[in-house]
Amino acid sequence: MIPYLKAKAFREFDGAPTVDLDGDFVILPTNDEWSIWMAEYHRTHGAKGTQYFARIGRMVVKTRWPPGHEHQLSMQIG
């Protein structure tokens, strides 16, 4: 528990999207994270990847932000 607190890992969940029963983040178009994840999927999988998520209106991901975008968390919290 102490390493978790020292690392401030709890900040990942402050104001975060819903977490499912598996502990994954459920990102919806109304979440701040949506546009960044959509850009990441477009970069890595092309238009078909983003079209799929736009059609179903949700994505389930292991981390709140895509790799390299963790700074979004500190920008939101301050």
Domain of residue 53: give its range: 2-77
**Is the dihedral angle over the CA atoms 62, 78, 68, 34 positive or is it negative?**
positive
Residue 56 has pLDDT above 70, yes or no: yes
DSSP string spanning 27-53?
A: E-TTSTHHHHHHHHHHHHHHHHHHHHH
Query: What is the reported pLDDT for 7?
Result: 54
Chain segment 5-36, per-residue pLDDT in tens: 555 555 656 678 999 999 999 999 999 999 99
pLDDT at site 42: 95
Res 16: pLDDT: 83
**Predicted TM-score of the model (pTM):** 0.72
DSSP-derived secondary structure letter, 15:
T
- How many structural domains does the chain have? 1
pLDDT at 72 over 80: no
pLDDT of amino acid 2: 55
